[in-house]
Amino acid sequence: MENVKQKKKLGLLKRIGKRNLVIVSVMLLIGLAVYLNYLWFYDPQANIGYGDTQTGGVGDGTTQVGGDAEDYFAAALLARESARSESMETLELVATGAEGEEKEAALAEISRIAAAMEQEANIETLIKADGYEKCVAVINGDSASIVVSSEKALDATGVAAITTIVYEQAGILPVNLTVKQK
């Protein structure tokens, strides 16, 4: 009886195949990295932009940035880099131990992540050059989230400028872009 169960398990493993198990496990790890990014970066209490900011005092015209922006941006950059390096390490292990389609899929994913990292760096640099003190860009496939910090309020003109930068650098449509001010 036990021997029959072992044969069924081996038959199932042969039908699924090692390659498919590796691909599924890599996809689960990437999904975990995306989920952790979501947990670390999503802030439902953050200002949405379009001029929706808190004022510092009555009629003084200053804008108050919510929370400690220094800590937020440092933590966000550290979390993003940590998640990315973890994903890259996993993919590199798969690429070195795999052959054929598995290796090609892992190398393609490594290239996609590297391109997203370069696009994020370019977007952050250009947004800072536009007058925002701090910026974190997170690209996930065909969508992006941008969080900026500035003394000036994020208005429609600022959002339009950021949208243009993101579209030019990453080809992400405005409908798939979230811009927040912290």
pTM over 0.85: no
Please return the burial class of 47, using the count of CB atoms within 10 Å of its CB with bins 0-12, 13-18 and 19+: buried
Measured at the CA of 28, the angle between CA 86 and CA 136, to 5 degrees, comes to 45
Number of domains in the chain: 1
CATH classification at residue 109: 1.10.287.4300
Query: For 155-182, what is each residue's pLDDT tens digit?
Result: 889 999 999 999 999 999 999 999 998 8
Query: What's the confidence (pLDDT) of residue 62?
Result: 36
Q: Per-residue pLDDT averaged across 92-98, rounded?
A: 79
Print the domain residue range for 49: 2-181
Which of the given ranges, 39-43, 59-63, 74-78, 127-131, has the highest pLDDT on average? 127-131
Query: What's the confidence (pLDDT) of residue 122?
Result: 92
